[in-house]
Structure 1
Amino acid sequence: MHIGYDLSWSHLEGRWRLPGSWTHATFPDMRIYKELAQIAERGLLDFIFFGDGSGIPNTWKGSRDDAVKWGVGWPRHDMSPYISVMSQVTQHIGFGLTYSSTFMHPFYVARLLNALDHVTNGRMAFNVIASTRRADAANYGFDELMEHERRYDRMEEFIDVCNGLWNSVEPDAFIWDRDSGVVADPAKVRALDHVGEFFKVAGPLASVPSPQVRPVLIQAGASPRGIKASAHFVDHVFAMSPGLDKQVKHRAALDKALAAEGRDASRVGIVWDVVLIVGETEADARRRHDLLLQAVPVEAVGTFLSHQIGYDLSKLPDKFTINEINDEIVASQASPVGFLNMTTEFDPSDTLTKDEFFHALQKHTASYDHAIVGSAAQVADYMEEVFVATGESGGFMIAHPPGVPRDLLSVVDFLVPELQRRGRFRTRYTGRTLRENLADDE
């Protein structure tokens, strides 16, 4: 199995102040990230991952004040410069970077990722997302969210353009002949001349092809349309872990969509996003798990949830059902899948009060209610069960730890050796690039 470590939230929603987080340093201190990259590489992890959001959450009550006060979804930086620095203190571990195809332009993103793949010597992955957050949309000139299906139409064209640009200069085009002065062969540099529904891009990419030619492509859509988009272009899917039955169904739906695209399903893995808290003993892990409940005050829950789904939950009536609210979310072009994943503990037809809803969702906001907690052997048992049931292709993205570096050290020092003893994780890096390491079945 392959393992990534998600650092997107390590300084958000109160985690920065919990025991085990850095002392005498706070985001965005570069020393923090250099240390983490070296720890993760010592553990032979596949990649470090950064999600992103470019707006301060303001869906809740139409105001950003609560998000600013409690550190919900902000502050966030473009992590591409950080990845450049982390790559200089490591040799093997990969880096996942997120940009939105809903807002960004493919030429800019293709050019940037080409440069980063050079800087990292072929260790880049691109997580392409379809954005559902109104605060982000407003920063790119959108008054309303783009319709759900259209977001994925744009994503597919976006990636088609990126792939065209990455392939517009052949890997052996450059000659650099000192005697003649010839730099490159013109026959191996081609215009793209793309004219589509969303983009018009002449090309070619005015860059030297990078070590991987293109980064590893990751996408996380879980709706039927999102899965169809994944099948169109991804190398690996990034997916939530809503329970084994649903994960098996997701794998089956992806395999069917890949077959429809004429692609080999065995070559496309699913990386399951999961909150893992591992300790030297089960008691130690459960003690750290309980720390999560101290991270997010109930006053910040509505801010967090509204931002995640793109719908203002301050508008909830005194009494409602999950089904009623989900219908409104769908109508507003927000994220019904995200909302339903948050509310699995409720019967969707039962009537709830606002207080019941927000107090119950405090555990979800803190990632408390869906964490896998235990000793290395107990956590490895869970990982093996999911890995086998979903086709033994892909692995896990470890997300939302109570505090880093403490919880990353526990993964590296306790969990990784246990997985290695079971023959489920590498004992050395064998590839030169991230793509090669993700394809490694050692």
Structure 2
Amino acid sequence: MKKKIHLGYDLSWTHLDGRWRSPGSWSHVNFPDIRLYEEIAQIAERGLLDFIFFGDGTGIPNTWEGSIEPAVKWGIGWPRQDMSPFIAAMSRMTQHIGFGLTYSSTFMHPFYVARLLNSLDHVTGGRMAFNVITSTRRADAANYGFDELMEHAERYDRMDEFIHVCKALWSSVAPDAFKWDRESGLVADPSKVKAIHHTGKFFRVEGPLACVPSPQGRPVIVQAGASPRGIKTSAHVADYVFALSSGLERQVKHRNELDKALVAEGRDPRTVGVFWDVVLIVEETEREARRRYEKLLHAIPAEGIGAFLSHQIGYDLSRLPERFTIEEINGQITASNASPVGFMHITRAMEPGREMSRAEFYEQMTHHTASYDQVVYGTPKRIADYLEEIFVATGENGGFMIAHPPATPRDLLNVVDFLVPELQRRGRFRTGYSGQTLTENLRA
């Protein structure tokens, strides 16, 4: 029997960066109308997808020229809500689809996050995933009282401890601790409720978690480290890893490096899957897919591109000299504790040591901002061929995160109605949910 491809759908950006006005996006209602999300949850569950995912950011982008004005004007990276209550509402309209929620270990406290996710796992009936991130955006850091960004390696040290505390809290009350004996009045067995007494470099937490253990025990842990230090943390904390679709050769290399790190942690690589991000345009004909693809360059107004990119990499691109190399700029970004991985990702098609002009750089960045060079477009057969090749070459363990869809709900409908049936015909996608919890469905 062929191994199944798992699919997540990313709703983080569907209302941002020009996507809200793309043909095929919701009409007559605007973010954050809950009806949008209830509808999308039902569509995704009809298509038997594994989960809906929400990334997050808590600051209005202000890296470009030190101002929020361009981001506010053009809807770059804002507005954003805390999606936890939205997930609660979406779960009441569905029975099987999972939900991924993002919080930053750089800014948040593990006791609060552990308690919140425990409660959401109850509300959803065991369908929660926790995407734990480190934060590299100054606009976010300023809202939590940070004057400077935390050093890169230290951010991952904090994440390691953060997840250690969360896992200790989630296991601090035994699954069978609660008795609810109406005759005697006994609520729970005290011997099965233990403090964690944690004292570490970043956190002091006494515990235990004052909650009933949730259906999954703990949420599925997802992490997206790509640097050597990030991959080490992935191997230490994650059940699943989010990773870039940077080309088959690089993806195979990433999977191999992750497997080595897992073995070093004493973990079986077969127990940790990878979800590769992929931007898809699925249409019945190549012609229609190509037509929609060519419209991508017009999604974000030109005035918003600098604000978008500067926020993503934590470096004010308005300061670029007239001529420079990628290596030079990356050195400055690294020195400022921003995100060198992010910058190297968006410039991966450029020669690091070749001198270029500002005009040349922005021309290529227009393509990146629109996901123009990352999109896989075409008929269901062509898309399925691509996904199956990547899936097999990287070990048939995990699947794909359908990221940054150009138009929602149109692109989700096309995945559900065109792509999913093609994958099912190949024996590569489920024909029904087999489990009750997200953990069970991801392992099926």
One fold, TM greater than 0.5? yes
Residue identity matched to 1:80 = S
Partner of 2:216: 212
Q: Does 1:439 align with 2:443?
A: yes
Partner of 1:38: 42
Q: Does 1:416 align with 2:420?
A: yes
Within the candidate set 326, 333, 345, 1:329 is matched to 333
Alignment of 1:5-404 (within 5 A): 5-404=9-408
Q: Does 1:3 align with 2:7?
A: yes
Give the CA deviation at 1:291.
Answer: 2.4
- 8 Å CA contact 1:298–1:359 kept in 2: the answer is no
- 8 Å CA contact 1:323–1:349 kept in 2: the answer is yes
Structure 2 CA distance for aligned equivalents of residues 64 and 187 of structure 1: 53
Give the CA deviation at 1:37.
Answer: 0.3
- 8 Å CA contact 1:18–1:291 kept in 2: the answer is no
SS of equivalent to 2:94: coil
SS of equivalent to 1:397: strand
Q: Identity over the aligned pairs, expressed in percent?
A: 71
Give the CA deviation at 1:356.
Answer: 1.2
What 5-or-longer segments of structure 1 have no aligned partner?
none
SS of equivalent to 1:155: helix
Structure 1 CA distance for aligned equivalents of residues 169 and 96 of structure 2: 26
SS of equivalent to 2:295: helix
Aligned residues, how many?
440
Give the CA deviation at 1:303.
Answer: 0.6
SS of equivalent to 1:372: strand
Structure 1 CA distance for aligned equivalents of residues 155 and 87 of structure 2: 27
SS of equivalent to 1:311: coil
- 8 Å CA contact 1:169–1:188 kept in 2: the answer is yes
Structure 2 CA distance for aligned equivalents of residues 283 and 193 of structure 1: 62
Structure 2 CA distance for aligned equivalents of residues 18 and 233 of structure 1: 38
Structure 2 CA distance for aligned equivalents of residues 309 and 201 of structure 1: 33
- 8 Å CA contact 1:278–1:373 kept in 2: the answer is yes
- 8 Å CA contact 1:218–1:235 kept in 2: the answer is yes
Structure 2 CA distance for aligned equivalents of residues 232 and 200 of structure 1: 21
- Deviating more after overlay: 296-305 vs 188-197: 296-305
Structure 2 CA distance for aligned equivalents of residues 144 and 240 of structure 1: 27
- 8 Å CA contact 1:293–1:366 kept in 2: the answer is yes
SS of equivalent to 1:99: strand
SS of equivalent to 2:276: strand
Please, what TM-score do these two structures have when normalized by structure 2? Answer: 0.98
Residue identity matched to 2:288 = D
SS of equivalent to 1:373: strand
Give the CA deviation at 1:299.
Answer: 1.5
Give the CA deviation at 1:214.
Answer: 0.3
Give the CA deviation at 1:427.
Answer: 0.5
* Deviation readout 1:205-230 (Å, 9 max, x if unpaired): 00000000100000001000000000
Please, what TM-score do these two structures have when normalized by structure 1? Answer: 0.99
What 5-or-longer segments of structure 2 have no aligned partner?
none
- 8 Å CA contact 1:298–1:358 kept in 2: the answer is no
- 8 Å CA contact 1:4–1:396 kept in 2: the answer is yes
Structure 1 CA distance for aligned equivalents of residues 203 and 424 of structure 2: 46
Give the CA deviation at 1:47.
Answer: 0.1
* Deviation readout 1:189-243 (Å, 9 max, x if unpaired): 0001100000000000000000001000000010000000000011000011111
Structure 2 CA distance for aligned equivalents of residues 99 and 130 of structure 1: 9
Partner of 1:406: 410
SS of equivalent to 1:69: helix
